[in-house]
Chain A
Amino acid sequence: MKARLRAIGAFWYDFVIGDDWRGAAVVAAALAVTAILAHGAGVNAWWLTPVAVLAALAWSLRRAVRAQRRNGG
């Protein structure tokens, strides 16, 4: 039962998060900060998530390329 639950969890993790969890973490953090700014401080930070997501993409690509180079690719 435990092994089956673990397999299901692993499948969904791979399905939504994929090879690099940092991208998903940045998306979640950016949306959380946007919500806090909107509801807590009355700041309309519509620009925050697009900037954070594109930065996350650049970061993730950079890490992938570096990892490939380290492995001699």
Chain B
Amino acid sequence: MNAVPLFLTVFVACAVEAVEALTIVLAAGLTRGWRPALQGLGAALAVLAVITAVLGPALSLLPLSALRLVVGALLAAFGLQWLRKAILRYSGYKDLHDETGIYARETAAAQAAAAGGRGWVTDWYGFTLSFKGVLLEGLEVVFIAITFGSSQRDVGTAALAAVAAAVVVAVAGLAVRAPLARVPENTLKFAVGVMLTSFGIFWGTEGAGASWPGNDAALLVVVPAVAAAAGLAAIVLRRLRRASTAPASPAQTAPAGEAAR
């Protein structure tokens, strides 16, 4: 795999997570003040940088086959989660991730919370809200960037994609000063789920000792095959959901005798 698919996969995955983190930082900043929100953001980014600095080189020390087996298993399991959620959301069996709703809930909770700070943190609530949001979403970013980067022995490109995604989302967020509710989050999550699952299958199988027909070119079949199977599942479930929630026709609701008349 060359650097372009690696960059694009990590960029899209990280952008999705950055949109979710931005919603929480905006809620903290606009209700509790920007100083504690930015302090929380900075502290979380520092923790994430330490995790990346420790885990990245440590993973690079592993033999490639062992690394790909472990990373492949983790990515396939992780990707299945993303795909499952995206398909259930698309088909209506799970509520869509609603950035506007989350923003409203976080804002209301932040406004109701008592103020109070200690040391250099002027407001613990705003700091903690921002710190937790960025750290939790950022862990997924770090996980994806490190696993993809180390499996390709190209952590630099993966890290660059992650930083670029965070910057693009931050600039967009500053421009509109509101949650990025128009981002087609579920579609992006579906695409990322397909990529995570596909690369997990590919690297896991290689790490387990099997070799793909056509070597790296097999990815050109694996990715579309996973996308097609997941897309088909989404369409079938959406139709089933619509059929089960559609109001019954008069002929179906009328008593048997009336319908026969």
Contacts and interface: CB of A to CB of B under 8 A. Distances in A.
Interface of A: 15-20, 23-24, 27-28, 31-32, 34-35, 37-39, 44-46, 48-50, 53-54, 56-58, 60-61, 64-65, 68-69, 73
Contacts, number: 108
B87 interface: yes
A5 to B, nearest CB: 18
Given A27-B204, A57-B84, A35 B240 contact: no
Given A64-B93, A65-B93, A46 B84 contact: no
Given A35-B209, A61-B233, A23 B81 contact: yes
Contacts of A48: 205, 210
Nearest to B234: A61
A68 B93 CA distance: 7
A35 B69 contact: yes
Given A35-B69, A57-B80, A64-B84, A44 B226 contact: no
Nearest to B236: A61
Contacts of B87: 61
A60 B209 contact: no
A61 B77 contact: no
A51 to B, nearest CB: 10
Interface residues of B, number: 41
A68 B222 CA distance: 31
A57 B244 CA distance: 22
A67 to B, nearest CB: 9
A61 B84 contact: yes
Interface of B: 69, 72-74, 76-78, 80-81, 83-85, 87-88, 93-94, 139-140, 143, 197, 200-201, 204-205, 207-213, 218, 222, 225-226, 229-230, 233, 237, 240, 244
Most buried by A among B73, B143, B230: B73
Contact of A60 (B84, B139, B244): B84
B226 A49 contact: no
Contacts of B139: 15
B81 A57 contact: no
B233 A57 contact: yes
11 contacts: A17-B77, A19-B81, A28-B77, A31-B207, A46-B210, A46-B218, A53-B76, A54-B226, A60-B80, A64-B94, A65-B240
B236 to A, nearest CB: 9
B200 A61 contact: no
A44 B211 contact: yes
Given A31-B69, A50-B225, A38 B209 contact: yes
Nearest to B221: A50
B74 A49 contact: no
B205 A19 contact: no
Contacts of B205: 31, 34, 46, 48-50
